[in-house]
Chain A
Amino acid sequence: MKWLAKLAWKNIWRNRNRTIITMASVFFAVILSVLANSLQTGTFDNLVKNVVSFYTGYLQVHKAGYWNEQILDNSFEVSASTKQKILSQQNIRAVAARLESFALASSADVTKGCLVAGIDAEEENNVTGLKQKLIAGSYLQAADAGVLLAQGLADRLQLKVNDTIVLIAKGYHGATAAGKYAVKGILKFGSPDLNDKALLMALVTAQDFYGAPGMVTSYVLSLNETKSLQATATTVQQALGSNYEIMTWEQLMPDIKQHIKADADSMRYVLGVLYMLICFGVFSTLLMMMVERKYEMGMLVAIGMHKRLMMLLLLIESLLTVLAGCVLGILTSVPIVYIMQKYPIRLSGESAKAYERFGFEAIFPTSTDASIFISQGLIVLVIGSVLSLYPVYKVFRLHPVTAMKR
């Protein structure tokens, strides 16, 4: 069969322009689809990184049932051994304990509901980079008696650093919680929702306020490798047992997940149009090739070449052409994607300001995930291979006498 491969190779170059057009359409299709996909994935990864680093973390550990009924009674006792168990799992970078609940916050004349989060200042900074969000005052100490207010909440309550805020809430097991605290600093969150209602205090201060000493409602986890989110959640769940629920950011923020899915769906349509263009490009050249070689094919069958051999010959020719376009496309797209990751598309002007207002860096990086190159290369290869069946079908239907009619 070596001679068949040799003949296929010679046939590929019998019409150099046609082969180059076919290869070029596959080549550019691979580059465009890889770029579109890696840009989309990179932008989503960036979005998730931004959103997750606001507050939520990639994973959260709660007492089983907490997410359905988010009350202090569903808190659990903070434990060094539990924390250690979590930290000993592969892929866990940092853990931060939180005691979260709600309270009515008052200043002189204004009262507003707020989200109170008792945090371990250092741990929280490791997970969400909270210190960077500080725009006034100073950051919390381990057992600080002061609180940090989100900018929107501070504005609403007309409070500044060193002012006093009064909190009243329902505490642990129905106890009444009340206290007054000095405003130690102002934070600016990217999320408008969080910016309007977050109040943060030291974990021990919050435990004292709610009458829940030693209790937390969640551990917030950050990961080394975000791709293995679900696998990490599973291993943490296995390590902690069924008394705890482990939730991914996708479960904690289904709206973000939905947004990404909707955007990915619309990208599928764009890619679909791109794939259609490849189909036309490749198919038109195959069509030309079949018209040009129809007489010759009829002659070859007439002199004794089996149709199955001719089908194989044409399949080798088409696949080699498409494969060459694919490989060249992937090889060319790799450096482009890496360069675009290092030097991402950066918005400027008003658009950039709009992004930055929401706490996002106004950049669109690409993702260098190998699966993008492989999947897009394979999709284009499969399209090319399916189209290669057209000459095979034409040979199957070929009648030498009809084919040799001029």
Chain B
Amino acid sequence: MNNTVIDVHNISRVYNPDTIPVYAVNNVHLHLQRGEFTALVGPSGSGKTTLLNMIGGLDKPDAGTIIINGMNITELSPRELVDFRLHNIGFVFQSYNLIPVLTAKENVEFIMLLQGKSKQERDQRVQQLFKEIGMEDKLNVRPAQLSSGQQQRVAVARALASKPQFILADEPTANLDSKSAANLLDIMALLNADENITFLFSTHDQRVINRARRVITLVDGKIASDTAAVDISQPHKFETV
């Protein structure tokens, strides 16, 4: 059985192609296996978010193909992409982005409502996820009444609710204090280890980099380094090609 979840073939994304072309992502080639816990690092403007957006089907590459779980998503229509994202990808954003008028439970349930899951399925999944993120007592609390760390944990639960192929997390710890960040990373690491969920983070945060089992460094839209193991005792240094 093919274990590759994300298969990126020589993708490029160019802004202003007709005037002064800027390569946000330049001929990137990348494979991620199921169960990887990978950090995508690099300085600001290196193309991390653009690459993540393209892998997540939110943006289209100008060249190359992206195959997710055997499906070439670069050939999908915008409508098909929405469905694809709904069933295959979990997103965690830097600023949590929970729907403020819904409770924590309803936020997690929301994505399952979009999937058309039954109430029984939704309830079971919500209970399981809140247990995993350690927030069983906060089911009916609105986001505004939760701490930043708790909100981000709910966002992780929401990302997992649809049982996706992998989770894309864009700077998930950027707005969290050390304790909350460590707690969130513990949860994600546990989910990765126990449920074999694939995580791909874009991050500047050394705490995330330290916990990652694979670190891909982007510089000027190109992969500068890709390592399956890093020395977690040492801060990660950006390298140039």
Q: Interface residues, chain A, CB within 8 Å of chain B?
A: 3, 7, 10-11, 13-14, 295-296, 299-307, 309, 400-401, 404
Q: Known contacts A304-B83, A304-B86, A304-B162; is A10 also within 8 Å of B91 by CB? A: no
- Chain B residues with CB under 8 Å of A295's CB are 97
| CA–CA, A296 and B114, complex, Å | 16
- Chain A residues whose C-beta falls within 8 Å of the C-beta of B100 in the assembled complex: 14
B68 CB to nearest A CB, Å: 14
Q: Give the contacting residue for A306; candidates B58, B79, B93, B158; CB below 8 A.
A: B79
**Cβ of A307: which chain B residues have Cβ within 8 Å of it?**
82
Asked whether, in the complex, the Cβ of A14 is within 8 Å of the Cβ of B101, the reply is yes
Contact A299 B102 (CB under 8 A): no
CB distance from B56 to the nearest CB of A (A): 7
Q: A14-B101, A304-B85 are in contact. List 13 more A-B contacts (CB 8 A).
A: A3-B113, A10-B101, A11-B101, A302-B56, A302-B58, A302-B85, A303-B158, A304-B86, A304-B87, A304-B111, A306-B114, A400-B58, A401-B58
What A residues does B101 contact at CB under 8 A?
Answer: 7, 10-11, 13-14
Interface centre among B86, B101, B115 (most CB of A within 10 A): B101
Q: Cβ of B82 and Cβ of A304 under 8 Å apart?
A: yes
* Residues in A neighbouring B114, C-beta threshold 8 A: 303-306, 309
Q: Does B59 contact A (CB under 8 A)?
A: yes
Q: What are some 8 contacts across the A-B interface (CB < 8 A)?
A: A7-B99, A296-B97, A300-B99, A302-B85, A303-B114, A304-B87, A400-B58, A404-B93
Q: Within the complex, which residue of A13, A14, A303 is in contact with B86, where a contact is CB–CB below 8 Å?
A: A303
Residues of A within 8 A of B183 (CB): none
Chain A residues near B115 (CB-CB < 8 A)? 304
Report the interface size for chain B: residues with CB under 8 A from the other chain.
Answer: 24
A406 to chain B, nearest CB (A): 8
Q: Which residues 43-93 in B have Cβ within 8 Å of A in the complex?
A: 53, 56, 58-59, 79, 82-83, 85-87, 91, 93
Distance between B166 CB and nearest chain A CB, rounded to angstroms? 14
Give the docked Cα–Cα distance between A306 and B56 (Å).
Answer: 15
Closest Cβ of chain A to B66, distance in Å, is 15
Q: Is the interface of B mostly helix, strand, loop or mixed?
A: helix
Closest 3 CB pairs of A and B: A304-B86, A10-B101, A299-B97
As a 0/1 sequence over residues 113 to 131 of chain B, the CB contacts with chain A under 8 angstroms (1 = contact) are 1110000000000000000
Cα–Cα distance between A378 and B213 once the two chains are bound (Å): 63
Q: In the complex where A302-B91, A304-B87 touch, is A7 in contact with B102 (Cβ < 8 A)?
A: yes
Q: Are A303 and B99 in contact (CB under 8 A)?
A: no
Give B19-55 interface residues, CB cut-off 8 Å to A: 53
Minimal beta-carbon separation of B92 from chain A (angstroms): 10
Contacts of B91 in A (CB 8 A): 299, 302-303
A401 and B111 within 8 A (CB): no
Interface centre among A10, A13, A302 (most CB of B within 10 A): A302
Q: Which residues of B contact A309 (CB under 8 A)?
A: 114
In the bound assembly, the distance between CA atoms of A14 and B87 in angstroms comes to 29
Across the interface, do A401 and B59 meet the contact criterion of CB distance under 8 Å? yes
The CA of A299 and the CA of B96, in the complex, are separated in Å by 10
Cβ–Cβ < 8 Å partners of A306 in chain B: 79, 82-83, 114
* Residue with the greatest number of chain B CB neighbours at <10 A, chosen from A13, A400, A401: A400
Assembly CA distance A404 to B168 (angstroms): 15
- Taken together as a complex, chains A and B put the C-alpha atoms of A301 and B97 apart, in Å, by 12
What residues of B have a CB within 8 angstroms of the CB of A10 in the complex? Answer: 101-102
Tell me the complex Cα distance, A48–B192, Å: 84
Most buried by B among A11, A303, A404: A303
Alpha-carbon gap, A383 to B68, bound state (A):
46
Residues in chain B near residue A400, CB distance under 8 A: 58
Q: How far is the CB of B116 from chain A (nearest CB, A)?
A: 11
Q: Which residue of chain A is the closest to B113 with respect to CB atoms?
A: A3
Residue of B nearest to A307 (CB): B82
Give bound CA distance, A38 to B122, whole Å: 54
Minimum CB distance partner of A305 in chain B: B114
Cβ 8 A contact of A296, one of B79, B86, B99, B113: B99
**B residues near A3, Cβ cutoff 8 Å:** 113
